[in-house]
Structure formats: structure tokens, C-alpha cells
A and B are shown apart, each in its own frame.
Chain A
Amino acid sequence: MHKIKSIIQFLFILFVAIFTPISLFASDIILNDTVSVSATVIRAPSATGSYLTSVTFSGFAYPEAIVHLWKNGVPQTTAYTFSDGSFNIRLDEVYSPNALYSLYAIDKMHRRSLILNYPIVVKSGYLTQISGILFAPTISLDKTEVKNGDYITVSGYALPTTSLSVVIKGIQDKTFYMNSNSDGTYQLTIPLLDFKKGDYNIYVNYKNSNKISKVILFTIGEVNILSTELVENIPGDCNADSIINIIDFSVTAFWYDRPNPPVCVDTNDDNIINLTDFSILAFYWTG
């Protein structure tokens, strides 16, 4: 009897294991995101009786930030966010089977978010709504190199009074938790006493969100080197203009598969320019 029970148990576990694709485990993490994006259509008659074609984008960035909307790499319009960080942008459109809309936000301190892309099939005579957009917090550091045992201050803009995770990754990983202020600002001074010397990455994200801020590189070494004018230390930005665009892409493309690339092009320090370097460049793209 006991044997039969064991066999049934085994078969049940086997059945569940085989028919539960790995995607379910993966999507568990993604589903923690509290905000989702949806595209819906509403028939929108105009004053003349014909139907308008337009696209609206709504969601959250940072209080009193500017949200920029681009279509196929060309600037279209901008909108200011409200004090709660919300925004709503409407764009009159024509039919397009593959319009690529890109949005980015600039906070009150002129820090720029990462780009969010929305490829949309725009239907003629319909209003397409993209709602629930959420920009990850902006980020800057007070130092590019920190003296061993000293402090580093991370600051930026986020949604007001929202839980944030500040993640440090490198030789040692550590996560710090904090809340943003009512005006959307946040600042955290982190003692680095327990950290070993070396290179580290730091980023910020909302609790329960998989969208991360820009990833900033800093070094724990012998001296303190202050960040001037909110230097962002962007990988691949060889001309140091804090912009990642076609110029940086061209420089990376020139060194693709060539020996001895310059340090600034080799974003992951493996002494070769390959798809990984292009991927890192595409992550920081500003246009």
C-alpha cells in the first residue's frame, strides 16, 4: 500500500515538473511589478464626424519632471509631470504597422532616465492607450572613486514617498532600503567600511519592480575622487558628452572584432568588442 502511494506521489511530482515550464518560475519575478502596460483602443469620433487616430501615453516619472516622446528616433513632443509624478501625453497619428515610440524623463536636477520603448501597431481611426508606464528612479553619485572605508552618497529622483532599493554589486553585493521624500528626492550616504577594494556597480529600483535605474560604476581605492557636475560615468561614452548616440555606436562599430580597442569602447573590459559591448551601449542609449 505504502509503495503504491509512493509511486503515485512520484508520478504526480514528475507530471507537475514536466508540464510546468520554466517560464512560470521566471514570470513570478516579473509579475511582482505593480504597474503594467496595456494597449487598448477606443473609437474616438472628431467634431467633423470622422474618427481620429491618436496614441496616448500615461504613467509615472518624477515630480515636476519633463517627459520626452520620440517616434522612430525623431522628437515629437514633451510634457511636464504633476507633483505626484504622473503624466499624460497624446499624439495625433496616422496608421503605422510598426511605430517605435520612445520615452525618457528628465528630473528637476537635469538627470536623465533610461529610454523606455513601445513598439505599437497604430490602427487608423482608433485611440490607442498605453497606460501604466513607470520610469525607474534617476541616479547620481558624489564620487567616482571612494577611499577605502569612506562614504559614498547616492541621490536622485523617484516617485514621492516610495520604497526604494539601492543595490551595490561587485566583489561583494549588498542592498540598502529607503523611502523617497515627499518631493520625490532621495539621498542615501552609504558607509563602505565592509567593502573590499575594487570596482562596483550601483543602481536603484522600486521595491517589487524589475526596472532599474542607470547602472553607475564606482571604484573603492586609495583616494576620493569627486564627481563633478553630476558625472554619470557612462560606459561607451568615449567623447564624454553624457550622450550615447550614433557617434558612440559608430566608434564601437569601428572597433568591432578589432584587436586592442580603447578602454572607453570596451565596456565590459574583456579586451574585445563584441555583441555584449553593443548591448551595454544600447542600454545607456540617449539618442
Chain B
Amino acid sequence: MKIILFIITIFFANTFAVYAADVSVLAPKIVKNNQTFIVSVDLNTDHVLVNSFDITISYPSDILSFKGYKEDVSIKKLWIVPPTNSSGSIHFSGIIPGGVDGVYDPDRIGLQAIPVIELIFSSIALGNGEFTLIHSDILQNDGLGTPLIHENKNSSIVVSNVATSTYNELVLDKSIQDVEPPAPFTIQFIEAGLFSKTPSMIFFSTTDNDLGVEKYQLHTGNIWKDVKSPLPVKKSIFSRYLSIRALDFNGNIREAQVEIPGILPQMYLTLFIVVFICSFMLFMLKRKR
């Protein structure tokens, strides 16, 4: 009898288990049409150090339009995949080097949830829908990449003519007028080792405080082509410059350049030109005589 009771107890305990850690999507409950608002993605780790995340959120694309993302109040991170919008879902992935277990806010008791990102949406039609975490991997900062067991907390939204919402602080007074370009950035050239399988490449990354960086482009020929960091580059005989530009979600541009060293040093190019000019002059002189 006691064994049966024990088994039943364990079964119920597991059925009703509440994970202490969670990923939550926080959105205003009701918004008006043509209103811009923030959807916050927070991570509560229950005091466990975590250092990487891979999250996909679906949103009702029939009533909402994705406008960009804000990073100014979220945790500092390196993007593996920056927020990418694809047919009603947003995917992003990144690392927090060294790991974090929460945010220390003197105004609040205890560790606060980690603000991973703030997504910006605009309502385009009346209706209702849900922000659903369709995939979320959170890994611990333990040197092994152990997954953090957590639960997902979704959020629903209604686009209505009468908007009285909880989480009003997420609704913006007006749409974000992003006129500032992304922050200035540098491009780092990473040279391949002599017997390395990894090619030489360039690494670039920047931020945009208003709507976020949408994409990067490389100037090649006379056109700008979409590229991702890190970008493999081939060394040519002599050094050359490459231009990369970052575009935010409003089309503002920030450009940066990097010198890709050549196989031969610049000195050889100068020497070659000097020798060529001298030879040409000598040839012309001989011809005159």
C-alpha cells in the first residue's frame, strides 16, 4: 500500500512540477491599431549561471509587423545569429561570455531576470494572437554546455479599438523615429594559420540603439551585397581595402573599412612601380638615341 502511495505521489509531483527557471515573453495585453510597442524577452535562471541561448518566437503576423529590436537595456552579448524575422517567427542566438545568473538592481530585492532582448512591433490590423516560444535552448556556464531545464511563458495580445492594457509601459507613445545610424565599428581581420583548415576572414559587429542592426553589406564591384560575420576573405598579391556597411531597420547606414594585407608587402608594390617606371624611361631614352 505504501509503495503504491509513494508511486502515486511521485507521479503527481512530476505532473505538477514547476521549473524554477523560465524564459518569458512579456507583451502588452491590449494595444490600439497602428501602435508601436515592445515585447520583452526575459530569462530567469533561478541563480544558475548561464552563458548561451537560442530562441525562436512566433508572433501573429496577420495583425502585427516586426519593426526591429532594442539593445540599450538588455544584457551585453555576442550574437551568433542576430534577430532574424522569417514568416511570422523571430530567431536569435547568442552568448554572454563568462555567464550571468541575473541582474543586480538596488531598487529590487534579489536577483532580477536577465533582459535578453526587446523586440519592437507595430499593430497593423484588429484581432488577437499569441507570442509563443516555439524553441528555447539555454545552456549553463559550466564548461560542458549543460542545458538549463526551464519552462516557457508565452504572452497573448489583442489589437483593439479600445486599448486599456496592463504592461502599459511597453506601449510606446509614438513610433520610433530612427534617424541615427548604427554605432561606429571596426572590422577585424583574422589571418589563417599556415596549415589551418579555417580560412582568413573578417569579423564585424555593431549595435543600433533605436531599431537594431538589420544586416551588413560588402562593397564588391559597384554593388552592395548582403553578408554575414565572420566573412571569409582571400588574400591577393597586394594589400587592398574592403568596405562593410551596417544598415539598421530604418535603412540608416554606418560604413567601415579594413585593409586586407597582401601576400607581398606594400613595399614590393612600390618597388615594382619604381622599377617599371625606370625601365620604361630607359627604354624611351634608348629609343630616342
Contact B12 A17 (CB under 8 A): yes
Contact A114 B106 (CB under 8 A): no
- Judge whether A238 is part of the interface by a CB distance below 8 angstroms: yes
Q: Given A276-B139, A282-B51, A282-B98 in contact, is the A128-B232 Cβ separation under 8 Å? A: no
Q: Which of A115, A203, A250, A282 has the most CB of B within 10 A?
A: A282
- Judge whether A94 is part of the interface by a CB distance below 8 angstroms: no
Q: Given A23-B20, A130-B104 in contact, is the A283-B142 Cβ separation under 8 Å? A: yes
Main secondary structure of the interface of A (DSSP, over half): mixed
Give the docked Cα–Cα distance between A73 and B97 (Å). Answer: 10
Contacts of A276 in B (CB 8 A): 139, 145
Contacts of B46 in A (CB 8 A): 23, 26-27
- Judge whether B221 is part of the interface by a CB distance below 8 angstroms: no
Contact A275 B52 (CB under 8 A): yes
Contacts of B197 in A (CB 8 A): 261-262
Contacts of B20 in A (CB 8 A): 21-23, 26-27
- Judge whether A87 is part of the interface by a CB distance below 8 angstroms: no
Give the docked Cα–Cα distance between A277 and B144 (Å). Answer: 8
Contacts of A76 in B (CB 8 A): none
Contact B103 A120 (CB under 8 A): yes
Question: In this complex, what residue of B is CB-closest to A40?
Answer: B106
8 Å CB interface, A245-287 against B: 246-247, 249-251, 253-256, 261-262, 265, 268, 275-285, 287
Q: Given A22-B20, A250-B201, A253-B230 in contact, is the A121-B105 Cβ separation under 8 Å? A: yes
Give the docked Cα–Cα distance between A22 and B141 (Å). Answer: 20
Contact B229 A98 (CB under 8 A): no
How far in angstroms is the closest Cβ of chain A from B254?
A: 19
Give the docked Cα–Cα distance between A250 and B231 (Å). Answer: 9
Compute the total of residue contacts between A and B using a CB distance below 8 Å: 183
- Judge whether B279 is part of the interface by a CB distance below 8 angstroms: no
Contacts of A201 in B (CB 8 A): 143
> 30 A-B pairs, CB-CB below 8 angstroms?
A17-B12, A21-B18, A22-B19, A22-B20, A23-B46, A27-B20, A30-B47, A98-B73, A100-B76, A100-B100, A102-B98, A115-B97, A116-B98, A119-B75, A119-B103, A121-B103, A128-B106, A214-B143, A215-B144, A254-B232, A262-B197, A262-B198, A279-B141, A279-B144, A281-B95, A282-B95, A282-B97, A283-B98, A283-B143, A284-B143
How far in angstroms is the closest Cβ of chain A from B95?
A: 4
6 smallest CB-CB distances across A and B, nearest first, come from: A23-B20, A115-B98, A285-B97, A276-B145, A279-B145, A17-B13
Binding site for B on A (CB under 8 A): 6, 9-10, 13-14, 17-18, 20-23, 26-27, 30, 37, 39-41, 72-73, 97-98, 100, 102, 114-121, 123, 126, 128, 130, 201, 203, 212, 214-215, 238-239, 246-247, 249-251, 253-256, 261-262, 265, 268, 275-285, 287
Q: Given A123-B106, A278-B95, A280-B144 in contact, is the A254-B230 Cβ separation under 8 Å? A: yes
